[in-house]
Amino acid sequence: MEFTLIAMENVAFGYRLGTDCTEDILARLASHDASSYLVVADTTVAGLYGHDLTARIDKQVAPAHLLIHKVGEPHKSLSTVEALAHQALEQGIDRRAVVLALGGGVTGNIAGLLAALLFRGVRLVHVPTTVLAMLDSVLSLKQAVNATTGKNMIGTFHAPVEVLADTAMLRTLPAREVRSGMGEVIKNALAIRPSMLDRLGGSLRADAAYDDETLQWIIFESLAAKALVTAADMHERRSGLVLEYGHTTGHAIEHASRGAVAHGAGVAVGMIVAAEVSRRLGHAQTDLVSLHRELVAAAGVHPAVPADADITLVKERIAYDNKRGYLDTRPRHTPMVLLKAPGQVLHTGVLPLVPVPLALLEEVVDETTAPGAGPAAETTAA
Ligand code: NAD
Ligand code: MG
C-alpha cells in the first residue's frame, strides 16, 4: 500500500500515512537529498526496525548511521542527547545530514532536540512507531528533555520537514502502549471532534487489537482534531490548551504511579474526573460523565484512579499542574479544561480554562478510586 498525504491547514510539513510502506519511506527520504541519515531509536525499536531500516537507507539512499538510546522516560535527558550528538559528529556528518526519529514520543523528543542542536539546526524527519507518537507528539514543534526537577524542562521549538507513519509498525506495540494512545484519541473526540464519537464508540477494543483500517481512521481523525485547535496556535498557549483535557489529574496519576500507569491511561481517568467536576459545578449533565466512563472502559482502561497510583500523591500533585499561571486564580484553585457537552469547551475570556476549587477536585479524585465505592465505579457497573 502507498502513503496518503494528509492535508493539514497551517501545518508547514507533510504528513504521510499508510500501511506496509517501507519502500515509500525510502523514496521520501531520497527526495530530501541528504548527505547522510542519522537514525535515532531506542534499544527495543532499534532491534525491531532500526537496524533493518538503517541498512536499507545506507544501501539505497545515502550513508546512514543508527544512534541508539536506552528505552524510557528516565533516559529522555540532556546527557542522552549529548552522547548521541558526539556519536553523530564522530561519523563526520555535515549540516546536510537528516535526523530520522524512529520510535515513540521519547525518541521523537530526543531526536528532535538533537536535530535542533546539531550545527544549530539540521532537518528532522519523524517515523513514529507508537499510536501516541503518530497522532500526538510528532505534530508538536516542542522538542524537550527532562531535568532532574521536572518533565520537558529543557528544550526548544524545532519543526520536522516530514512525518512518515506506517501503521504496520504498530503490530509489535504492546497493548498497554496502544491503550495509552487511545486515551488521547478519546480526548480528541470528546473535547474537539464529537463527530467521531459514534464510530469511535463502536471501534474501541478492550484487547487493543485494532486493524490497520481502523488505526488509519483514528489517526486521520485525531490529526484533524489537533490541527483544528493548533492552526492558529502552534505553541499551544491559547485555543491549543484544550489538548490538555484530562491532563491535570492524568499527569498527577502518571506521576504518582511512578510510570506504572501509562500517560494516556492517566489522561483517560483524568477526563472522567474532569467531567464529574464539570457536573458538580453545574455545567454538565450526568450523561456526559457516563459517556466518558463508557469510552474509557471500552478502550480497556479501568475507569477509576488505579491502585498503582498513591491517592495522597495524586492529590498533592494536582496542585502543581503546568496550567497554573494561565488564569489569575484565587488561592486553592487550579485552572482546568472542562466540557459542557462533547465538543463544547468552557472558556474564561479567550482561554479554554475554568478555575476549579482544589477541594472539589480532591473530593472527586477521592471518589474516583478503584475498585468499588464511589460514584465512578458504581455507574460503570450499572
Ligand atoms: P515511548 O517513546 O517511550 O514508547 C513507549 C514504549 O513503546 C517504549 O518502551 C518503546 O520502546 C516501545 N515501542 C515503541 N514503538 C514500538 C513498536 N512499534 N513496537 C514495540 N515497541 C515499541 O513513549 P510514547 O508513549 O510514544 O511517548 C511518550 C513521550 O512523548 C513522553 O516523553 C512525552 O513527554 C512525549 N510527548 C511529547 C509531546 C510534545 O509536545 N513534543 C507530545 C506528547 C508526548
Ligand atoms: Mg498528552
Would you list the domain boundaries of the chain?
4-172, 180-367
Determine the distance separating the centroid of ligand 2 and the alpha carbon of 184, expressed in angstroms. Answer: 6
Q: Which of 40, 52, 68, 137 to mutate to test the pocket of ligand 1 (most atoms within 8 A of CB)?
A: 137
**Model confidence at 379, in pLDDT bands (50, 70, 90)?**
very low
Q: Which helix (H) or strand (E) holds 267?
A: helix 263-280
Specify the ligand 1 atom closest to the Cα of 107: 2
CB-ligand 1 contact for 136 (6 Å cutoff): yes
User: Which residue matches cell numbers 506495540?
Assistant: 173
CA of 375 to the centre of ligand 1 (A): 33
Indicate the DSSP class of residue 330.
P
Any atom of ligand 1 within 6 Å of the Cβ of 266: no
Please, what is the average pLDDT of the chain?
Answer: 93
**Nearest partner of 77 among 43, 113, 49, 50, judged by Cα:** 113
CATH class of 4-172: alpha beta
Q: Between 151 and 102, where is the model more confident?
A: 102
Residue 380 confidence class, pLDDT cut points 50, 70, 90: very low
Residue to mutate, 130, 212, 234, ligand 1, most ligand atoms under 8 Å from C-beta: 130
Q: Which residues have CB under 8 Å from 86's CB, separation 6+?
A: none
Residue 355 parent element (H or E): strand 354-357
State the pLDDT at residue 237: 81
Mean pLDDT, rounded, for 48-75 = 97
Q: In this structure, is the dihedral angle defined by the CA atoms of residues 265, 266, 267 and 273, taken in order, positive or negative? A: positive
Which atom of ligand 1 is least distant from the CA of 73? 32
Report whether 144 contacts 113 (CB < 8 A). yes
CB of 257 within 6 A of ligand 1: the answer is: no
Q: Is 0.75 topped by the overall pTM?
A: yes
What's the CA-to-centroid distance between 219 and ligand 2, angstroms?
15
180-367 has which fold? Dehydroquinate synthase-like, alpha domain (1.20.1090)
C-beta neighbour count of 330 within 10 angstroms: 8
- C-alpha 215 chain-centroid distance: 15
Cα–Cα nearest to 175, from 145, 205, 150: 205
User: Rounded to whole angstroms, how far apart are CA atoms 306 and 273?
Assistant: 13
Question: Is pLDDT above 80 for 191?
Answer: yes
Is 381's pLDDT higher than 60?
no
- Ligand 1 neighbourhood includes 42 CB (under 6 angstroms): yes
The Cα 369–Cα 269 span in angstroms is: 10
Residues with a known catalytic role: 142, 244
Q: Span 171-199, mean pLDDT?
A: 98
pLDDT for residue 373 is more than 70: no
| Average pLDDT of the residues in 219-244 | 88
Residue 68 has pLDDT above 60, yes or no: yes
Helix, strand, coil % over all residues of the chain, rounded to 5: 50, 20, 30
Alpha-carbon 192 to chain mean position: 15
Q: What is the CA radius of gyration of the chain?
A: 21
Cα of 77 from ligand 1 centre, angstroms? 14
* Side-chain-facing half-sphere of 63: CA atoms under 13 Å: 9
Confidence of residue 35 (pLDDT cuts 50, 70, 90): very high
CB neighbour list of residue 293: distance below 8 Å, 6 or more residues apart: 272, 303, 376, 379, 380
Lowest mean pLDDT among 44-48, 64-68, 135-139, 284-288: 135-139
Give percent above pLDDT 90 in the chain: 82
Residue nearest atom 15 in ligand 1 by C-alpha distance? 129
CA atoms within 13 A on the CB side of 199: 10
